[in-house]
Chains A and B, each alone.
Chain A
Amino acid sequence: MSSRRSRSRQSGSSGISDDQISELVNKLQQLIPELRRRRSSDKGSASKVLQETCNYIRNLQREVDDLSERLSQLLDSTESDSAQAAIIRSLLM
């Protein structure tokens, strides 16, 4: 009895219900466009979903890097003009 209790507390991921995990994995699957497209075959393998998730996050972070670079170039070429600042403000709000 006590060993069972301590085991479930220590076994980390396997101690938590598998349903819960597969549910979350499904939710993750919905989010990743790569996996959404291949709806026909059941890409339900958790390992595959995790792999695609990591790839997707890496891609998103790389996009943010590229956009940061683009923004830095744009901000440099844009003079800190009050008029231009007004344009930007009016376009954004």
Chain B
Amino acid sequence: MASMSFNFEENVDRSRELKRRKRRKIETVNQDRAKNNQIRWRSIAEQQTYSSKLVEALRHVRQTSAASNVSSRSRAIRETADKVLAISARGRTKWSRAILTNRLKLRLKNHKKANAKPRMASPGNRRSNNPPNGVQKKRLPALERRTRVLRRLVPGSRKLSLPNLLEEATDYISALEMQVRAMASVAEHLTGASNLAESSNRLGMSLEHTPQR
């Protein structure tokens, strides 16, 4: 009957409206959470927690790594720093989870690669300015181009919707800023400590008898 089909339309609209409202509520909750996260990344406490976890992890890496050249050592440090940063995010963000899962995937892949024949680099992965065939390069709209670049930079964001991508990017930026602050301060302390040790060695003092605080 005509009335039944009419009600059907109304119900569909109403359920859609309810879903919309629920989505908006979730969005405000997400926004508050995002703001809290940003405050957390900026806090001194978080930076100190990160710094101490980083130092522990670095010490562990030093003991277990057999790396001989500078670049692979600094890469190991970079990876450790990223891993500790991802852990500090406590699984709340996609980029942090992606860093940790990618690390695992890479390790499995390298393990397999060590036992398998060497593969040629697939042309599909090569990023080149010239298109492979004679097709003219299509000029994507600027927004899409930039979005694609952003997706490359923020780990794990390839399939995210645009709003989620922007959320992840803001959190990722705050976390990176903290990482820079923390690593810079650790480097400063190490510089100071090594200077101190050097000069006290030169003076013939032994630090091992310094009373603990």
Cβ-neighbour of A65 out of B78, B146, B189 (below 8 A)? B78
- B208/A88 in contact, CB under 8 A: no
- Considering only residues 28-87 of chain A, those with a C-beta below 8 Å from chain B are 28, 31-32, 46-47, 50-51, 53-54, 56-58, 60-61, 63-65, 67-87
CA distance A92 to B48 in the complex (A): 7
Closest to B80 in A: A68
- A87/B55 in contact, CB under 8 A: no
Kindly list chain B residues whose C-beta atoms are within 8 Å of the C-beta of A67.
81, 180, 183-184, 187
Distance of A26 from chain B, by nearest CB (Å): 10
- A64/B176 in contact, CB under 8 A: yes
- The range of chain B's interface size is 35 or more
Contact of A13 with B by CB under 8 A: yes
Cβ-neighbour of A60 out of B55, B143, B180 (below 8 A)? B180
Closest to A20 in B: B163
| Given the contacts A61-B176, A68-B77, A87-B193, A47 and B166 also touching, CB distance less than 8 Å | no
- A56/B146 in contact, CB under 8 A: no
- B194/A92 in contact, CB under 8 A: no
CA distance A68 to B85 in the complex (A): 14
- B190/A75 in contact, CB under 8 A: yes
CA distance A51 to B166 in the complex (A): 13
- Considering only residues 106-145 of chain B, those with a C-beta below 8 Å from chain A are 142-143
Contact of B44 with A by CB under 8 A: no
Cβ-neighbour of B191 out of A60, A65, A74 (below 8 A)? A74
CA distance A24 to B147 in the complex (A): 13
**A positions within 8 Å CB-CB of B:** 1, 12-13, 16, 20-21, 24-25, 27-28, 31-32, 46-47, 50-51, 53-54, 56-58, 60-61, 63-65, 67-93
- Contacts A12-B161, A64-B78, A71-B190 given; 20 further ones with Cβ under 8 A? A21-B166, A46-B143, A47-B146, A57-B153, A58-B153, A64-B183, A68-B183, A69-B74, A71-B74, A71-B77, A74-B194, A75-B190, A80-B59, A81-B207, A84-B197, A86-B210, A88-B55, A89-B55, A91-B192, A92-B52
* Nearest 4 interchain pairs by C-beta: A50-B146, A83-B207, A24-B166, A68-B78
